[in-house]
Structure 1
Amino acid sequence: MALNFRVSVRETSNQSVALQLYGDFDASSACELINVLEKNVKRSRKVAIDTDQLRTVNAFGLDVFLPSMSRLNNTRADIQVTGRFSEVFNEV
């Protein structure tokens, strides 16, 4: 786990979860976020990921994350990315 990365998970309703990303997003951060998402898409219909609190987004981190994001989007959960880095996360 990256020392300068954190994911805050908050249930917003019975079947919705909001994730807030903090710090620098790199390959180890991508793995951590994938693990958090895999746990939450099983029990939620909507997952919102807010990228406003990220400082940087590493290209290799995206290379690790985006294929899993594509796979997770094919589950029953609707995953939406918002915030200032949303465009780079939505390139799937």
Structure 2
Amino acid sequence: MSTNFQIEVKKSNGDLHISTSGDFDGSSAWELVNLLDDKYDGKGRVVIDTHNLREMCPFGCSTFRCRLNQSRLPSNRLSFKGAKGYEIAPEGCSVFVSTKKHDCRCSGNCANCPCSEKKQQN
């Protein structure tokens, strides 16, 4: 397993919420699949948050997709949050990517905007 890969699990309203962080390699994929096999009780949905994943190893992504297809978790009950979900989501799963919202409803490019991305980089 990647030494910096971590998983947090929370159950809420019958759904399983999983937060992942660190690098996603083959060992990390196996750890996540095994956790799903242990924690998913066949009811509700599973939501995996990928926002805090960093390096995505192609072998890890492939391992997760292939191994998960053999598990008892139907893909229509599995959702991913974050753009990195596209890299690991098996066919039939949902991936939700939120866009950054600006309080002033601008695009973040205004010269005097307090939420300007240019100002945040300085």
Which TM class, normalised by the smaller chain length? Answer: 0.7 to 0.9
1:10-49 alignment, distance < 5 Å: 10-13=10-13, 15-49=14-48
Amino acid at match of 1:6: Q
Structure 1 runs not aligned, ≥5 long: none
RMSD: 2.1
Output the CA distance in 2 between the equivalents of 1:63 and 1:50.
18
The structure that is strand-richer by fraction is 1
Matches of 2:41 and 2:30 in 1, distance apart?
17
Larger relative CO (CA 8 A, sep 6+): 1 or 2? 1
- Do the aligned partners of 1:17 and 1:44 also contact (CA within 8 Å) in 2? no
Deviation per CA, 1:37-67: give whole Å up to 9, x if none: 1112225421100100001110010121101
| Superimposed CA distance per residue, residues 16-48 of structure 1 (whole angstroms, 9 cap, x where no aligned partner) | 010000000000100100111111222542110
Structure 1: distance between partners of 2:10 and 2:73: 22
Q: Which runs of 4+ in 1 moved over 6 A?
A: none
Matches within 5 A, 1:1-92: 1-13=1-13, 15-72=14-71, 75=74, 78-92=77-91
Gaps of 5+ in 2: 92-122
Q: Which structure has the larger Rg?
A: 2
Q: Secondary structure at the match of 1:2?
A: coil
| TM-score, with length taken from structure 2 | 0.65
- Greater helix fraction, Structure 1 or Structure 2: 1
The count of residues paired between Structure 1 and Structure 2 equals 91
